[in-house]
């Protein structure tokens, strides 16, 4: 559990913020009808049940903005106060149905609540100007300031802005021409979210590290916005904690972006939560219990064994009734019986789910695909063998998205394909999936995900793999992994290894002893002696101290790990999250106590790397 950030409080904070926004319209005697667009609906559902919403606000009706909303709204408009809830953070425009409703509204004014990651008046002004262009009515505009909320784990905060309402990825938009604009949206929203967290928790940053050009820009924006909101009181507290006599408290910020590693998402995520997401089974899995917490980040191969252990433990608790001799012992067993039965039901669901998933994976020759990915990653296959294998998979109706991921993995490992190989592969893809594939391949080439050789600034992944030992000579041991290679076909995610290298340089023992001369282990994140290496790999870096390092530490934060915010631009996979948690525990065993809290614009699978129109979505694997 986070010792400095209680992320569960953010749900309550967002709930209170929404209630406060609705109160702006509760002066009316009529109950409120809330019209919600699809983007905002997901956030609203995550913090309120309908009954709780009615209990804590004047909202009487909630109308989803769809094709039927107009007729429903017209039936309610005379007896209620209509308020529109919109989220344009990712789209920057209203969806067509919402715009149509607003234009057709029979009223002298329009009441709108807009979601925002920051309370700046300038942002509210921009939204107001946009709405005035399309709505020729008086606007009553109220902001709903939301904090990123935990997703998948207590220490993972998801801003949920990476994918827009059409299912397109803002980091890799379907039209590369718009990429600068869409990435700016992500950077601005993420920086707003980080600033909101820092200000809410009164966190003073000690140091920041950024890898990637957009990561550096995010740090710049955060620093500028914190300086604008700085006060005499904040300066006094900062000087008291971090002046000549320091408190010993440490809070750091490390920022990554997806372009640092586009290999890892192209491989299959082998964690339990990752495979469930890849096969579209996540919605059918209980994910709000302690059993899920124990299983979600494990390699899928360890799930069966853990379920068996949990079942045996549950059986022992049931059998303990035979040892209950006194009235007190019998009463204690009866009191706990409901919890045992509930746990048994959840355990049964997980067992059935994992069994069905195993059967499905056998049907699709899952192991063969994983082996192929592994061989691609270690570059042990010649180009003709790879192309023949991919063509063979296309003949067996393998999903288009899976084929494209393998092609991108192949291309990037080879640092681009030879002209004849690219042409042959391109022809096979177009013949199999149709002429629309021509445009998809053009976008992938623009993003350097699937391209020809000699493309400028292409990343030399083979050198990165060797230097950072991301294909370690360590067996994958699902039950007790010894390295972070258990989540992706024997490969360690590059960003996880980069993070490790800031605190633990033992990874360089095999391939680069000179880097070890700086330190072996460090409690401070640093890129010292990695600068040249990262420059050769075309990875821009920025390392800055926010607090003067001079001075004497007069105390220490007892029994509390150092807080490190990890920001991911362009999304993070479940497998990467799992390996970061693994790294956190390994560092603690080295007496480097860290609490990694992830802040991201989205949690993704490899399929979400592509825009919706670049790759068809994977079919559901549920009968």
Calculate the average pLDDT of the chain. Answer: 85
- Alpha-carbon distance of 484 to 475, in angstroms, equals 11
* Res. 72: pLDDT tops 80: yes
* Res. 244: pLDDT tops 80: no
Show the tokens assigned to 103. 């234009």
Q: How confident is the model at residue 25 (pLDDT cuts 50, 70, 90)?
A: confident
Which of 164-173, 189-198, 455-464, 608-617 is predicted with the least confidence, judged by mean pLDDT?
A: 608-617
DSSP 3-state assignment of 70?
helix
Report, as an integer, the average pLDDT of 287-305.
Answer: 89
Q: What is the pLDDT of residue 615?
A: 43
Report, as an integer, the average pLDDT of 334-348.
Answer: 75
Q: Are 493 and 444 within 8 A, CB to CB?
A: no
Hey, which of 87-91, 154-158, 535-539 has the most confident mean pLDDT?
154-158
Report, as an integer, the average pLDDT of 480-489.
Answer: 94
- Alpha-carbon distance of 180 to 116, in angstroms, equals 21
Residues carrying CATH 3.40.50.2060, the chain: 7-146
Which of 161-175, 405-419, 539-553, 570-584 is predicted with the least confidence, judged by mean pLDDT?
A: 539-553
Which of 86-100, 169-183, 313-327 is predicted with the least confidence, judged by mean pLDDT?
A: 313-327
CA-angle at 46, arms to 43 and 50, nearest 5°: 100
- Alpha-carbon distance of 258 to 262, in angstroms, equals 6
CATH classification for the domain delimited by 148-261+491-612, as one of 3.40.50.1910, 2.60.120.10, 1.20.140.10, 3.40.920.10: 3.40.50.1910
Percent of the chain with pLDDT over 70: 87
In CATH terms, the fold of domain 367-414+416-447 is 1.25.40
Q: How confident is the model at residue 622 (pLDDT cuts 50, 70, 90)?
A: very low
Report, as an integer, the average pLDDT of 230-246.
Answer: 71
DSSP 3-state assignment of 494?
helix
* Res. 400: pLDDT tops 60: yes
Report, as an integer, the average pLDDT of 496-508.
Answer: 92
Q: How confident is the model at residue 617 (pLDDT cuts 50, 70, 90)?
A: very low
Q: How confident is the model at residue 1 (pLDDT cuts 50, 70, 90)?
A: very low
* List of E strands, 447-540: none
* Res. 128: pLDDT tops 60: yes
DSSP 3-state assignment of 142?
strand
- Alpha-carbon distance of 103 to 97, in angstroms, equals 10
- Which residues have CB under 8 Å from 10's CB, separation 6+? 147, 148, 149, 150, 157
Report, as an integer, the average pLDDT of 266-272.
Answer: 95
Q: What is the pLDDT of residue 419?
A: 93
pTM of full prediction above 0.85: yes
* Res. 512: pLDDT tops 50: yes
Q: What is the pLDDT of residue 619?
A: 36
Residues carrying CATH 3.40.50.1910, the chain: 148-261+491-612
In CATH terms, the fold of domain 272-364 is Syntaxin Binding Protein 1; Chain A, domain 2 (3.90.830)
* List of E strands, 288-408: none
Residues carrying CATH 3.90.830.10, the chain: 272-364
- Which residues have CB under 8 Å from 55's CB, separation 6+? none
Residue 614 phi, psi (nearest 5): -85, -35
Q: What is the pLDDT of residue 618?
A: 35
Tokens 């607090």 belong to: 547
Residue 194 phi, psi (nearest 5): -65, -45
* Res. 242: pLDDT tops 50: yes
More confident position, 243 or 224: 224
Report, as an integer, the average pLDDT of 325-338.
Answer: 60
In CATH terms, the fold of domain 7-146 is Rossmann fold (3.40.50)
- Which residues have CB under 8 Å from 89's CB, separation 6+? 39, 115, 116, 117, 161, 185, 189
Q: What is the pLDDT of residue 138?
A: 81
Hey, which of 89-103, 234-248, 400-414 has the most confident mean pLDDT?
400-414
Report, as an integer, the average pLDDT of 99-118.
Answer: 82
Show the tokens assigned to 252. 């750091």
Q: What is the pLDDT of residue 623?
A: 33
- Which residues have CB under 8 Å from 332's CB, separation 6+? 324
Q: How confident is the model at residue 171 (pLDDT cuts 50, 70, 90)?
A: very high
Per DSSP, the residues of 184-221 read HHHHHHHHHHHHHHHHHTTPPP-EEEEESHHHHHHHHH
Report, as an integer, the average pLDDT of 406-429.
Answer: 94
Which of 275-284, 292-301, 369-378 is predicted with the least confidence, judged by mean pLDDT?
A: 275-284
Report, as an integer, the average pLDDT of 256-265.
Answer: 96
* Res. 518: pLDDT tops 70: no
Which of 10-24, 95-109, 382-396, 432-446 is predicted with the least confidence, judged by mean pLDDT?
A: 95-109
């Amino acid at each position: 559990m986070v010792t400095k950030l209680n992320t569960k409080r953010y749900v309550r904070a967002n709930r209170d913020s929404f209630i406060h926004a609705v109160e702006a319209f509760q002066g009316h005697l009529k109950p409120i009808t809330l019209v919600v667009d699809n983007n905002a609906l997901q956030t609203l559902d995550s913090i309120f049940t309908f009954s709780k919403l009615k209990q804590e606000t004047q909202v009487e009706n909630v109308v989803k903005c769809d094709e039927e909303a107009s007729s429903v709204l017209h039936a309610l408009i005379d007896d209620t106060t209509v308020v529109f809830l919109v989220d344009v953070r990712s789209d920057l425009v209203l969806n067509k149905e919402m715009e149509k409703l607003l234009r057709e509204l029979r009223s002298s004014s329009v009441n709108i609540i807009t979601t925002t990651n920051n309370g700046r008046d300038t942002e509210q002004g921009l939204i107001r100007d946009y709405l005035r262009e399309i709505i020729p009515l008086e606007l009553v505009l109220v902001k709903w300031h939301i904090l990123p909320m935990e997703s998948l784990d207590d220490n993972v905060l998801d801003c949920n802005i990476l994918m827009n309402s059409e299912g397109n990825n803002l980091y890799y938009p379907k039209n590369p021409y718009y990429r600068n604009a869409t990435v700016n949206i992500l950077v601005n929203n993420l920086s707003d979210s980080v600033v909101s967290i820092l200000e809410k928790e009164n966190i003073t940053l000690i140091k920041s590290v950024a890898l990637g050009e957009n990561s550096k820009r995010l740090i710049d924006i955060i620093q500028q916005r914190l300086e604008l909101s700085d006060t005499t009181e904040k300066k006094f507290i900062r000087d008291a904690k971090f002046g000549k006599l320091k408190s010993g408290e440490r809070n750091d910020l490390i920022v990554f972006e997806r372009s640092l590693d586009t290999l890892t998402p192209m491989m299959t995520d082998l964690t339990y939560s990752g495979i469930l997401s890849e096969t579209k089974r996540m919605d059918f899995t209980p994910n709000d219990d302690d059993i899920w917490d124990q299983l979600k980040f494990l390699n899928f191969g360890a799930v069966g064994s853990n379920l068996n252990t949990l079942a045996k433990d549950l059986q022992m608790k049931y059998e303990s009734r035979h040892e209950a001799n006194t009235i007190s012992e019998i009463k204690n067993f009866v009191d706990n019986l409901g919890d045992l039965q509930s746990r048994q039901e959840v355990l049964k669901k997980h067992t059935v789910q994992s069994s069905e998933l195993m059967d499905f994976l056998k049907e699709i020759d899952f192991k063969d695909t994983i082996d192929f990915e592994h061989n691609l990653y270690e570059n042990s296959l010649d180009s003709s063998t790879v192309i023949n294998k991919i063509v063979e998979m296309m003949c067996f109706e393998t999903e288009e998205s899976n084929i494209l991921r393998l092609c991108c993995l192949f291309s990037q490992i080879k640092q681009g394909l030879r002209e004849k190989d690219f042409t042959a592969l391109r022809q096979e893809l177009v013949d199999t999936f149709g002429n629309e594939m021509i445009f998809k391949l053009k976008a992938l080439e623009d993003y350097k995900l699937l391209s020809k050789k000699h493309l400028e600034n292409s990343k030399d992944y083979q050198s990165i793999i060797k230097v950072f030992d991301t294909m370690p000579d360590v067996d994958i041991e699902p039950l007790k992994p010894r390295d972070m290679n258990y989540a992706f076909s024997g490969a360690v995610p590059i960003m996880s290894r980069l993070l490790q290298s800031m605190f633990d340089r033992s990874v360089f023992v095999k391939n680069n002893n000179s880097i070890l001369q700086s330190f072996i282990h460090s409690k401070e994140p640093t890129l010292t002696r990695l600068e040249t290496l990262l420059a050769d790999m075309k990875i821009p870096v920025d390392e800055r101290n926010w607090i003067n390092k001079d001075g004497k530490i007069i105390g220490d934060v007892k029994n509390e790990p150092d807080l490190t915010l990890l920001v991911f631009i362009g999304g993070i996979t479940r497998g990467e999250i799992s390996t970061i948690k693994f790294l956190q525990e390994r560092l603690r065993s080295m007496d480097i106590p860290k609490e990694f809290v992830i802040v991201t614009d989205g949690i993704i699978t490899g399929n979400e790397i592509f825009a919706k129109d670049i790759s068809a979505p994977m079919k559901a694997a549920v009968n």
